[in-house]
Every structure is written in C-alpha cells, then in structure tokens.
C-alpha cells in the first residue's frame, strides 16, 4: 500500500469515526453509505421508524460540511415542491427562481413511497441526470449531489411503491436493523444531556470529498474482475428463481461500488472479494423473484447469495 493510499484511508476512517459518535453500532451501514457517496451513487434505506435513518444522513452532512436538505414526502407534495418554482417579483417585474430542497448537496428523501409517482419521478430524474428543468430552463445540481431516500417496509396503506425501473436508479439498498442491548444503553448514555449530533464538527471539506470521488474513478479494475462482475449479473438473468434479472446498469453500479469499497480500505485496485461483498447490496433491489420463489419464502438476498456462491471466483495469474 503506497503512502498516498494510506493517507486517504486515514481520512476516510476519520469520517467514519466522526459519524460513529452519533451512530452506535452501525459501522457497516456507515461504510456502505460512504461507499455510495464516493461512487457518486444514491442510497435507498428501507427499515422501520426510529432506527437512525435520518440521523445517519444528518451526521454525514455535518461531518463533510455540506448543505443538507430534507424532503418529507406526503401524498399532496408537488414536483415543484422538490425542484423549486419561479415566482413573479412585482418590484423587479420579472420571474425569479426559488430553488427547492433538491438544490442541496446531501438530500434526505424521507418516506419516498408516500408521494405520487409524478413527484417521485421529479426526484429520480434529477438523481440520474444531475440537473433539473423548470419553466424550460435547465439548471445543474450542486456537486457533490447525494440522495438518501427512506421508506417504511411495514406500512403500505396510502403508499406508492417504487417500480423496478426507478429502484434501479439507487446504487445501494440498505437496512439499519435494531441495535443490540449494550449499544442501546450506550445510545442512552450519549443522549442523556446534549445530543452528539449538535456537537459534531466537520472532518472533511467539500473539496476533499470531490477529490476523493475523482480518485475512486481511478481505482484499477482488472479484466478478470470485470468478467466476474458480468458473470454474476448475467447469472441473475438465467436463474429459474428470478423473473427479472439485473440490467447492464447494474454491472456498472457493481463495478463503481467495488472501486469505492477498495478505496476506503486503502487499495488502488479491486479484488473479487470487493465484488462479492458489494453484490448483495447493489443487486438485491434490482431483482424480481418468481411467484414460486416467493411461495418458498425466498428473499432477494438469499437467492443472490446462493447465486454468488455458485459463480466461479477468478484467480489472478501470479497471485
């Protein structure tokens, strides 16, 4: 490991440890969220209320000194409430654009499945294109731009589930899970007086983050690792338990996630284990299981993990 990569790993570890001052026992979720941020992707967090989804994204925004915006999705929310709207200024006698919350650096899209498909598409299109169009004028979103969307998996009344085509826009789908007892006791200790989120200070600048995002793109991916990625993804299209397999966009997403995962572990090259670890997080929400698989009680992750086990891991010559 060269000296530059050691320094980058130290900086990323500082970021993780800073967020851990707020988030107790969630290192895996923190690491994966940072992977998505460095890979310039977006995250869908699906979990029950109260496990720290909002707190995670707030802690990340404060740790990197970025502009944080929150959109609370409701059935009556309009696309203009997300993107912004032009308002007529009588004094100046012209229309002025009032930016919406989408113009932030880190955007929390809370309960995204509670709003109409029309409003969902306004957010999801901006995630893909990284610009918005209002009244015929196209405006580029701020760099960096990172969306963390949440949805509640236990309440479906009055919700609009995201279709597969829109789920595909998220680089990763994560779950937080409940803390163990000791972690929950630690949380009580830390929040007894002042909440740690109120005292959190930045450990990374916007410029440093943009530099790291560029460096992640330069992480080497060998031909054998690329073949391994494509083999896993193509196997999802041939599996009898999967009705709809992963698209070529999933192959690109898995490669970018593997690059970022290698980077935060201090390497400027990827190995098959990076792909193997990231694959369930990148691919599970892009699959549609057959009714037979669902009847047998199979989950996306279970089917995917079995598929990965059966996919031959490439061995580099000379390794």
State pLDDT tens for residues 106-132.
999 998 888 888 888 888 878 888 888
Q: Are residues 40 and 141 in the same domain?
A: yes
Query: Does residue 319 fall inside a structural domain?
Result: no
Give the β-pairing of 106-110 and 146-151.
parallel
Return the residue matching tokens 């530099």: 211
Q: Are residues 167 and 282 in the same domain?
A: no
Query: Does residue 40 fall inside a structural domain?
Result: yes
CATH number, domain containing residue 53: 3.40.50.300
What are the backbone angles phi and psi of residue 163, rounded to the nearest 5°? -70, 165
pLDDT of residue 158: 61
Query: Does residue 122 fall inside a structural domain?
Result: yes
Q: Are residues 207 and 225 in the same domain?
A: no
Q: Are residues 118 and 238 in the same domain?
A: no
Q: Are residues 53 and 146 in the same domain?
A: yes
Strand partners, 45: 150, 174
Q: Are residues 126 and 182 in the same domain?
A: yes
Instruction: Report which of 256, 145, 263 is spatially closest to residue 206, judged by C-alpha positions.
Output: 145
Say yes or no to pLDDT of 261 above 90.
yes
Q: How is residue 232 written in tokens?
A: 């896993």
pLDDT tens-digit readout, 135-186: 777 888 888 999 999 988 776 666 788 877 788 889 999 988 888 999 999 9
CATH number, domain containing residue 255: 1.10.8.80
Query: Does residue 315 fall inside a structural domain?
Result: no
Q: Are residues 169 and 287 in the same domain?
A: no
Q: Are residues 167 and 230 in the same domain?
A: no
Q: How is residue 70 written in tokens?
A: 């929150």
Query: Does residue 115 fall inside a structural domain?
Result: yes
Could you tell me the residue range of the domain that residue 41 belongs to? 2-212
Q: Are residues 206 and 226 in the same domain?
A: no
Q: 191, 212, 233: which is the final residue of a domain?
A: 212
Q: Are residues 160 and 235 in the same domain?
A: no
Q: 171, 194, 212: which is the final residue of a domain?
A: 212
Cβ burial 9-45 (10 Å sphere, 16+ → b, else e): beebeebbebbeebbbbbeebbbbbbbbbbbbbbbbb
Q: 212, 247, 277: which is the final residue of a domain?
A: 212
Query: Does residue 176 fall inside a structural domain?
Result: yes
Q: How many Å apart are CA 54 and CA 106, to the nearest integer?
A: 12
Tally of structural domains, the chain? 2
Q: Are residues 106 and 83 in the same domain?
A: yes
What is the sign of the dihedral through the CA atoms of 291, 292, 298 and 301?
Answer: negative
| Whether 287 contacts 300, CB under 8 Å | yes
Query: Does residue 112 fall inside a structural domain?
Result: yes
pLDDT tens-digit readout, 26-60: 999 999 999 999 999 999 998 888 888 889 989 99
**In the Cβ-directed half-sphere of 262, how many Cα atoms lie within 13 Å?**
26
């Amino acid at each position: 490991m060269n000296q530059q990569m050691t320094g980058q790993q130290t900086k990323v570890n500082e970021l993780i440890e800073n967020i851990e001052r707020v988030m107790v026992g969630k290192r895996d979720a923190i690491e994966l969220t940072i992977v998505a941020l460095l890979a310039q992707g977006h995250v869908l967090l699906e979990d029950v209320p109260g496990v720290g989804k909002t707190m995670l994204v707030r802690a990340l925004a404060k740790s990197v000194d970025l502009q944080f915006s929150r959109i609370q999705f409701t059935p009556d929310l309009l696309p203009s409430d997300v993107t912004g709207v032009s308002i007529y200024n009588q004094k100046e006698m012209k229309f002025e654009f009032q930016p919406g919350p989408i113009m932030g650096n880190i955007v929390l899209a809370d309960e995204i499945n509670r709003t109409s498909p029309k409003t969902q598409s306004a957010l999801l299109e901006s995630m893909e294109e990284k610009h918005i169009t209002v009244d015929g004028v196209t405006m580029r979103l701020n760099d960096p731009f990172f969306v963390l969307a949440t949805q509640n998996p236990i309440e479906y009344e009055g919700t609009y589930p995201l279709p597969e085509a829109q789920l595909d826009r998220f680089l990763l789908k994560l779950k937080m899970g409940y803390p163990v007892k000791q972690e929950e006791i630690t949380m009580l200790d830390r929040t007894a007086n002042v909440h740690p989120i109120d005292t959190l200070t930045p450990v990374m600048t916007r410029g440093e983050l943009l530099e790291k995002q560029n460096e992640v793109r330069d992480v080497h991916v060998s031909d054998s690792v690329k073949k391994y990625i494509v083999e896993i993804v193509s196997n999802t299209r041939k599996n009898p338990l999967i009705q709809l397999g992963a698209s070529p966009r999933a192959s690109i997403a898995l490669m970018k996630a593997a690059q970022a995962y290698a980077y935060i572990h201090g390497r400027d090259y990827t190995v098959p284990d990076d792909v193997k670890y990231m694959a369930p997080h990148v691919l599970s929400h892009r699959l549609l299981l057959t009714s037979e698989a669902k009847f047998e009680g199979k989950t996306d992750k279970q089917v995917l993990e079995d598929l990965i086990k059966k996919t031959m891991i490439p061995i580099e010559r000379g390794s």
